Structure 1
Amino acid sequence: MAKFHCSIVISLVLLQCLVALVASESFDFFYFVQQWPGSYCDTEQSCCYPTTGKPAEDFGIHGLWPNYNDGSYPSNCDSSSPFDPSEISDLERSMQKSWPTLACPSGDGQKFWSHEWEKHGTCSESNLDQHAYFKTALGLKQKANLLQALKSAGITPGGSYSLKSIKDAVTEAAGYTPWIQCNKDSSGNFQLYQIYLCVDTSGSKLIECPVFPKGQCSSEIEFPSF
């Protein structure tokens, strides 16, 4: 009888582990987030350029984040899968260009990419391994060329524009509605900080966002130079 009871307990534990594993790896969509370096730097906190030099005046990738339709999200899903730079050595040059770090002190990007993989990327492992995760994000940046979309609508760095005109420009170019995140400059003015687009769970195509994050912008926002 004791042996039978032990078998049941072990089976239940294994079942719970399996359920937890499946739950940790399932999600509904990705947020693909790009940030404007001029707004990152134009705050009281300021910024530090990467050790590889000042990035180009272009939107940089912040991350590719698994999310649920209810607005919550999984994080740090697999501590046994740490960031391994050797896995993305062939992507490093592209990542330095398209996914630069602006945090202080100056770095080469490894710490930033490690954080993004371990917090967000590990939650997409059922669909994307580490190399595929970063390669997918780089591909999405090419597909969603935000700076070109804004410039085509006459929206250029150094000016102030309506929030609606920025949303409309991105929607026109990408085919899907973005979410705009603002931060405040050192004088307290709202400025264009990050642009969110939504992507299906395979990371292959843009979709309409099931839910938007919470946040606030004014109706007129700055688009600072970098």
Structure 2
Amino acid sequence: MGKAESGVLMLGLVVVVIICEAAAYDYFQMVEQWQPATCSDKKLRFGCRQKPKQVFTIHGSWPSNYSRARSKPCRGSRFDITKIAPIRAQLNQYWPDVVNGNHQRFWEHEWSKHGTCSEKQFPGRAYFQNALNIAKRHDLLSILKKAGHNPDGKVKQRASIEAAITKAIGKRPVLRCNFNKSNARQLHEIVLCVAKNGVALESCTKFAAATCPNTFVWG
């Protein structure tokens, strides 16, 4: 075999490996963050650059698998802001950079770390559009308020919050907490688990790790 043929073969193998890596996921973790909890995180030294809104916004849509919480880092196309130009206004609203206000850099980070893992099925704009669709279809704040749970800074029962969401969407979510500046555990993120097709919800398993204790504050 000549050098040219060897080079072509090796290139082909590299392409196959990249494609396989990009497809190695079983479901998505649709992670939405409560803005005030992000900004009052004990680990966040200087807080957020702008005052947080009392809303859940997208942290990311993470291709994951059942053997570990997240897939290995994937390689794929570089982030191209022009591909999401038609939905940029929606992304500003539903998927902002809560901490620094640099939305484009945040989207680039999420695409490079997570979006490339599902690029074969959700290339470029489709990845971001799919996350928007899920966030709009399942309004977490409205679901919780309708069930009588309000972000009033009072202690909440994890089981009650989980039950309210499960009743509304038909599948079990995952709750993640952090520590606020007063060292109290607070609701930070809600994770919805989404099938590989990016549409159907499924109940989250232990592989989508939860970090909330039985009680926590939300406000």
Calculate the TM-score normalised by the size of structure 2.
Answer: 0.88
In structure 2, the CA distance between the partners of 1:93 and 1:187, relative to structure 1 (3 Å rule), is same
1:126 to 102, 107, 120: 120
Partner of 2:143: 149
Matches within 5 A, 1:62-211: 62-71=59-68, 72-78=70-76, 81-103=77-99, 106-158=100-152, 159-211=154-206
Instruction: Output the aligned Cα RMSD.
Output: 2.1
Which deviations, in whole Å up to 9, do the C-alpha atoms of 1:30-79 show, x marking residues without a partner? 110000011111223253245xxx5642100001111111114132422x
1:213 and 2:208 correspond: yes
In structure 2, the gaps of 5 or more residues are: none
Structure 1 residue 18: deviation in Å? 4.5
Supply the distance in 1 between the matched residues of 2:207 and 2:195 (Cα, whole angstroms): 15
Does the Cα contact within 8 Å between 1:74 and 1:120 map onto a contact in 2? Answer: no
1:103-152 CA-partner distances (Å, limit 9, x unpaired) = 2xx33401111101111001111100111111110000011111011101
Q: 1:95 to 1:5 in 2, by over 3 A?
A: closer
User: Bigger CA drift: 177-186 or 63-72?
Assistant: 63-72
Question: How big is each residue's C-alpha offset from its partner over 1:159-195, in whole Å with a ceiling of 9 and x where there is no partner?
Answer: 2210111101111111110010000111111110001
Letter in 2 for 1:191: Q
Amino acid in the other structure paired with 1:37:
Q
CA positional deviation for 1:210: 4.6
Structure 1 residues 37 and 194, CA, compared in 2 at 3 Å: closer, same or farther? same
- Counterparts in 2 of 1:214 and 1:116: CA distance versus 1, 3 Å: same
Give the gaps of 5 or more residues in structure 1: none
Residues in 2 aligned to 1:56 and 1:91: alpha-carbon distance in whole angstroms: 21
Contact 2:79 2:112 in 1 (8 A): yes
* Alignment partners' CA distance in 2, 1:69 and 1:30: 11
- Pair 1:96–1:6, CA change in 2 (3 A): closer
Q: Determine which structure has more spread, i.e. the larger CA radius of gyration.
A: 1
Q: Secondary structure at the match of 2:121?
A: coil
CA distance, structure 1, for counterparts of residue 211 and residue 195 of structure 2: 25
Aligned length: 214
Is residue 190–residue 217 contact of structure 1 (8 Å, CA) maintained in 2?
yes
Structure 1 residue 88: deviation in Å? 0.9
* Alignment partner of 1:30 is 2:24: no
The code of the aligned residue for 2:64 comes to N
Percent of residue pairs bearing the same amino acid type: 33
Taking the aligned partners of 1:16 and 1:4, their CA distance within structure 2 comes to 17
TM-score relative to the length of structure 1: 0.86
Aligned amino acid, residue 160 of structure 2: S
Provide, for residues 200-223 of structure 1, a one-character-per-residue CA deviation record: whole Å limited to 9, x for no partner.
122122122354333432211100
| Structure 2 residue identity aligned to 1:222 | V
